[in-house]
Amino acid sequence: MSNDAVLYEVADHVATITFNRPDRQNTISPSMLNSVTEMLLTADADRQVRAIIITGTGKFFCAGLDLRGSDITNNLANNDRQPANLDLRNTPPTVLHNLDTPTIAAINGSAAGYGMDMALGCDIRIMAQEAKLAAAFTARGVVPESGGTWILPRLIGWSKASEIIFTGKTLSAQDSQEMGLVSHIVERNEVQDRAKHLAAEIAQNAPLAVQASKRMMRMGMNETFNDHVHHVFLQLLPLFQSADFKEGMASFMEKRKAEFKGR
């Protein structure tokens, strides 16, 4: 499934998707969008995958979209003001948001525009000390088209999100951590190891329970408390029938490490 521009591998229950265009700051071409979507869906459907890491090669995580040769840039070159047709249902940010498998952004370098939104769309973010998050949208005459206007206010509140988006602000790793946008700041050469270690910790737990927990957290963002508690109870019923629940209880009683199978 890997290609030269986007790499995909699975090891130890963890899928890793790597933007691999360091000569172009890991910008995402239109064809890469389809590849990333396919990889995310494949990982989410793979029963052996219990966590997904998204990262980049070189000094950049992802510097945004590479629109050279796309319908949008062709229209601009031809003075065509008609908007390009976009299938937003199957774009990486939409697919990423709806995954049940936990996702970790290993931000090895700067993430700008689309790259920033992709990082923010992950469940957990680990950031290199030298990396930056650049909300350069309004400086380019566009809006955060890949989920940022929905995600950022929910992560840090309306006032801070407004300041960042309206001014096209660039955030350092320290700024990002102080705002709660990233969980850990590490040296660049430690980003991958920290992400893999965290993914391994996630993979040790019962995958059905982890996935159900993520699903409930996502649903809870738009539910009343009473509706949410009801939906959580409905999620518990099939978990009580799972082999992993029995293994979890047995391992606790027997004071041993659980061996979950995802069944």
Q: 122 CB contacts (<8 Å, ≥6 apart)?
A: 54, 96, 103, 104, 105
Residue 262 forms part of a structural domain? no
Residue 1 forms part of a structural domain? no
CA atoms within 13 A of residue 83's CA, in its CB half-sphere? 4
- Do 47 and 163 lie in one domain? The reply is yes
User: Would you give the end-to-end CA distance of the chain in angstroms?
Assistant: 26
The C-alpha atoms of residue 160 and residue 7 are separated, in whole angstroms, by 34
Residue-wise pLDDT tens digits, 135-172: 988 777 777 777 888 999 999 999 999 999 999 999 99
pTM for the predicted model, two decimal places: 0.89
Residue-wise pLDDT tens digits, 204-257: 999 999 999 999 999 998 899 999 999 999 989 999 999 999 989 999 999 889
Fill in the DSSP letter of residue 84. Answer: P
Fill in the DSSP letter of residue 137. Answer: T
Structural Rg of the chain based on CA atoms: 19
Q: Tell me: pLDDT of 67 over 80.
A: no
pLDDT of residue 47: 94
Mean pLDDT for the stretch of residues 83-101: 79
Q: Which of 180, 173, 172, 62 is nearest to 124 (CA)?
A: 180
The C-alpha atoms of residue 171 and residue 147 are separated, in whole angstroms, by 18
CATH number at residue 115: 3.90.226.10
User: Based on the number of CB atoms within 10 Å of its own CB, is 145 exposed (0-12), middle (13-18) or buried (19 or more)?
Assistant: middle
Tokens 């793979």 belong to: 46
Residue 76 forms part of a structural domain? yes
Q: Tell me the average pLDDT of the chain.
A: 89
- Do 85 and 26 lie in one domain? The reply is yes
- Do 13 and 136 lie in one domain? The reply is yes
Local confidence band at 75 (pLDDT 50, 70, 90 cut-offs): very low
Of all residues in the chain, what percent carry a pLDDT higher than 90?
Answer: 73
- Do 180 and 246 lie in one domain? The reply is no
Structural domain of residue 247, as residue ranges? 207-253
- Do 226 and 238 lie in one domain? The reply is yes
The C-alpha atoms of residue 103 and residue 78 are separated, in whole angstroms, by 40
Q: Tell me: pLDDT of 76 over 60.
A: no
Mean pLDDT for the stretch of residues 191-198: 96
Mean pLDDT for the stretch of residues 17-24: 95
Residue 263 forms part of a structural domain? no
- Do 138 and 180 lie in one domain? The reply is yes
Residue 214 forms part of a structural domain? yes
- Do 141 and 17 lie in one domain? The reply is yes
- Do 63 and 124 lie in one domain? The reply is yes
Q: Tell me: pLDDT of 97 over 80.
A: yes
The C-alpha atoms of residue 126 and residue 184 are separated, in whole angstroms, by 5
- Do 47 and 171 lie in one domain? The reply is yes
- Do 117 and 223 lie in one domain? The reply is no
- Do 140 and 224 lie in one domain? The reply is no
- Do 184 and 241 lie in one domain? The reply is no
The distance between the two most distant Cα atoms of the chain, rounded to a whole number of Å, is 71
Q: Tell me: pLDDT of 77 over 50.
A: no
The C-alpha atoms of residue 172 and residue 150 are separated, in whole angstroms, by 21
Residue 159 forms part of a structural domain? yes
Joined together, the tokens standing for residue 143 give: 């809006």
Residue 149 forms part of a structural domain? yes
The count of domains in the chain is 2
